[in-house]
Amino acid sequence: MLPRLPGKFFPRFSKKMYTDSRPYDWPLLLAIIGLSLGGLFHLYTIAFAHQSYYFFRQMIWVGIGVGLLFLSSYLRISLWEKGAHFFYLVIFITLLWVLFRGEGVHGAQRWLKLGIFSFQPSEFAKLSLIIVLAKLLATKNNVGWRQIGLSFCFTFLFLILVALQPDLGSALILLPLWLGMLFLAGASPRKILAILGVGASSFPLFYLFLRPYQKMRILTFLNPGRDPLGTGWAALQSKIALGSGKLMGKGMGGALHTQLSFLPQPFTDFVFASIGEEWGFIGTGIFLGLYFLIITRGMKIARQSTSGFTRLVSGGVITLLFFQVFITVGMAAGIMPVTGMPLPLVSYGGSSIIMFFLTMGLLLSVKRFGE
């Protein structure tokens, strides 16, 4: 348990920020830790000699993430509510900064360098959007078109800035996150269906603004054999690796498809396919089971929340986690287009790891404070 700050030195903060009166949601906490440690162990087993730095760097990010999880679970979530618009403004500025001063990797300019560290603002944009939308939508009992329009403006600003990096995967996940929070806030099904209809009708216009390689990803998804040695390579090899693990997998160090680099990006985008090859159906089932436990516990916390803001924050966190897992697993299985999205708490990457640990800390905070 973290130490309580002395009340006589911090009279304003000791009662508002800290509490030790409620226990943690231990099934949720253990599922989070187990999932991240399982992902860390898997990276160790597939990181051969000249790629061992993936494991050691990920170990550092997981350690920082666990520390931030406990810290955020020890702070009242009302502090996030008070700073919602400031947090949004900070992320908005960093997303603008990335377009002009960001670091580029593989043709994408998504990272900002601070000293020896680099971070990806688009990951924290997801958390910021959850908090600002929760604050906006929790103020009204009935969500009208005015609140829908204003919430879309907050979402659209982030969507455009992230898409310009370009990071289409992170940009597009903001849309189901927005719709999910509208639904949780009480928007009528008729309004949500109307929004979906407008979105579907505008897809041809959206397609015109895609970059050539992004258009090829969509065409390859519809017909993976269209370019099997080019844009279709990743999707085809992912399905081969995932299916080759069968029931028990090939065992530790036995995932040759991954080890021989036939499977692209086994540490990040296609980590689920490498898990399937090495640990089989049983291994992937364990990982998915832990996600299921986190989602169900998070839904229970959201239902038991006593304020609109905490209910929407909890629901938004679970919505984000669900859609990102669904898209990433679907991408590995060939039922979703390749978008380059990390598997939460498992894929290599400091920004994603830290952001999701923070969101899990918010869930634990809601549970502990009974808000």
Tens of pLDDT, residue by residue over 147-195, are 999 999 999 999 999 988 877 778 889 999 999 999 999 888 899 999 9
Contacts of 114 by beta carbon, 8 Å cutoff, 6+ apart: none
Other Cβ atoms closer than 10 A to 174: 23
User: What pTM value is reported for the model?
Assistant: 0.88
Q: Count of residues for the chain?
A: 371
Residues 274-299 have a mean pLDDT of 95
The CA distance from 17 to 316, in Å, is 22
Cα dist. 139→27, 80, 135, 319 in Å? Answer: 32, 15, 7, 20
Residues 258-281 have a mean pLDDT of 88
Query: Of the candidates 343, 285, 283, 298, which has an alpha carbon nearest to the alpha carbon of residue 27?
Result: 298
Residues 333-343 have a mean pLDDT of 84
Is residue 36 scored above 80 in pLDDT?
yes
**In which band, very low, low, confident or very high, does the pLDDT at 7 lie, cut at 50, 70 and 90?**
very low
The CA distance from 154 to 206, in Å, is 19
Residues 223-239 have a mean pLDDT of 75
Residues 138-147 have a mean pLDDT of 81
For 87-100, how does the pLDDT look when each residue is reduced to its tens digit (9 = 90+)? 999 999 999 998 88
- CA torsion, ordered 36, 39, 40, 44, to nearest 10 deg: 170
Average pLDDT of every residue of the chain = 84
Residues 184-211 have a mean pLDDT of 83
Q: Determine the 3-state secondary structure of 249 from DSSP.
A: coil
> Do residues 345 and 328 touch, judged by C-beta distance below 8 A?
no
Contacts of 45 by beta carbon, 8 Å cutoff, 6+ apart: 252, 253, 255, 278
Q: What angle do the packed helices 271-304 and 308-333 form, to 10 degrees?
A: 160
Fill in the amino acid letter for 224: P
Residue 163, Cβ density class (10 Å: 0-12 exposed, 13-18 middle, ≥19 buried): buried
The CA distance from 309 to 276, in Å, is 38
Q: Which of 23-32, 42-51, 140-149, 250-259 tops mean pLDDT?
A: 23-32
Residues 22-36 have a mean pLDDT of 90
Ramachandran class of 268: left when φ > 0, alpha when ψ lies in -120 to 50, beta otherwise: alpha
> Do residues 20 and 4 touch, judged by C-beta distance below 8 A?
yes
The CA distance from 159 to 297, in Å, is 29
Residue 70 DSSP code: H
Output 17 or 38, whichever has higher pLDDT.
38
Q: What angle do the packed helices 26-46 and 350-369 form, to 10 degrees?
A: 170
The CA distance from 210 to 10, in Å, is 53
Please report the pLDDT score of residue 276 as a whole number.
93
Tokens of 312: 């929407």
Please report the pLDDT score of residue 108 as a whole number.
63
> Do residues 127 and 321 touch, judged by C-beta distance below 8 A?
no
Radius of gyration of the chain (CA): 21
Tokens of 260: 């021989």
The full DSSP string for 145-199 is: HHHHHHHHHHHHHHHHHHHTTT-HHHHHTHHHHHHHHHHHHT--HHHHHHHHHHH
The CA distance from 304 to 60, in Å, is 34
**In which band, very low, low, confident or very high, does the pLDDT at 136 lie, cut at 50, 70 and 90?**
very high
Please report the pLDDT score of residue 54 as a whole number.
84
Output 164 or 11, whichever has higher pLDDT.
164
Please report the pLDDT score of residue 105 as a whole number.
62
**In which band, very low, low, confident or very high, does the pLDDT at 20 lie, cut at 50, 70 and 90?**
very low
Bridge partner list, 119: 112
Query: Of the candidates 87, 36, 45, 76, which has an alpha carbon nearest to the alpha carbon of residue 290?
Result: 36
